[in-house]
Structure 1
């Protein structure tokens, strides 16, 4: 009769029990609330898909046309104009630009396009090297502010894109 050490049996049992299980997907959400005097609101969800963070936004209460859409450095929407959310989230210290540009802030999501009814949807995939849904790290977006602006992002004006006043603010939280 062979004697197998308990630690080896324990390790085999743990490994056998783990087969078939995977890490649950990481998701986050920002509930967008209007700033003082505005009606803009909505929901923005974030999910990890391989080496990308997928951002899905549905915003209503906008004027038809383009509206800048960015992550901001602070998860504080307490000021009536949401200026408490600070400036753009820019952990890499890069220039502001379009999400398709080689150089841009990780939180530069471009423009939302609102239809005649004032509703905008956007789905964009951002490299996980630029932003992450982890709770820590320089490029973590958890606890950061998300802003919908009144005007289009011109992708050129530094450091903000000249997107105008803040219409809605939300804080990105893990689900």
Structure 2
């Protein structure tokens, strides 16, 4: 039988339609067989589901896209925080450190997170080396001042009294005992340390408190018994960290 030109065109169109239907059925992502996926646009800072083969891969808000679709490197990113920024915990107090001549040399912040006190310090312009670093009992930083418990004794920042402590405690073991500062050769130091022995109400009580950087290193009263003499009152009270290089009155944030 002879087929007309119009008939051949109809047969060709029908065959093409059947082929397209078959390809669509084979290329479906849910069937588990290989197929093609339309390009996906990723918007930064939103929760997205990126099509990937048989399902979707969630991309969490604020994270680097592991697929590299965002045009970045596809790797993890990191940030650094200012040690006095208060990031991590709720800032409750702050002190500005100054030398006896009034030169400001740094900042100390106090933040709470549960029962933990987070102390951050950033200093500059001090002599290199390890330095004793404590909270003292009175919020007064006066140069050439008298010791409140012994007025005949005078010196820089003696107005701040001794280490913040409970009765009967030796150093280390005072509420105000903190990790030593390590001042670099450029005169700067950064420190973040934590303690669960320093309550907010003691830090901000009626007569206040002060942060102190000492002239020398703190031995924390650690003089082994094989050495003579055994720890004396000075060692047990201050850790032999010497005079006072910088002081800052603690103020509520």
TM-score range, shorter-chain basis? 0.7 to 0.9
Q: 1:124 aligns with which of 193, 215, 229?
A: 193
Report matched runs for 1:49-64 at 5 Å. Answer: 49-64=113-128
Distance 2:106 2:215 in 1: 15
Where relative contact order (Cα < 8 A, 6+ residues apart) is larger, the structure is: 1
Q: Which residue of 2 aligns with 1:166?
A: 244
The number of aligned residues is 138
Where do 5+ consecutive residues of structure 1 fail to align? Answer: 1-23, 98-103, 135-139
Q: CA, structure 1 residues 166+49, in 2 after alignment: closer, same or farther (shift >3 Å)?
A: same
Q: Does the residue aligned with 2:159 lie in a helix, a strand or coil? A: helix
Q: CA, structure 1 residues 110+151, in 2 after alignment: closer, same or farther (shift >3 Å)?
A: same
Shift in Å at residue 26 of structure 1? 4.7
**1:40, 1:62 within 8 Å by CA — same for their partners in 2?**
no
Deviation sequence 1:136-171 (CA, Å, 0-9, x none): xxxx11220111001000111211011111111111
Shift in Å at residue 57 of structure 1? 0.4
TM-score (norm 1): 0.73
Q: Which residue of 2 aligns with 1:15?
A: none
Deviation sequence 1:121-140 (CA, Å, 0-9, x none): 1111111xx21223xxxxx1
Where do 5+ consecutive residues of structure 2 fail to align? Answer: 1-88, 145-155, 222-234
Q: Which residue of 2 aligns with 1:30?
A: 95
RMSD: 1.8
| Larger helix fraction of residues | 2
Q: Does the residue aligned with 1:159 lie in a helix, a strand or coil? A: helix
TM-score (norm 2): 0.51
| Larger strand fraction of residues | 1
Question: Which of 1 and 2 has greater Rg?
Answer: 2
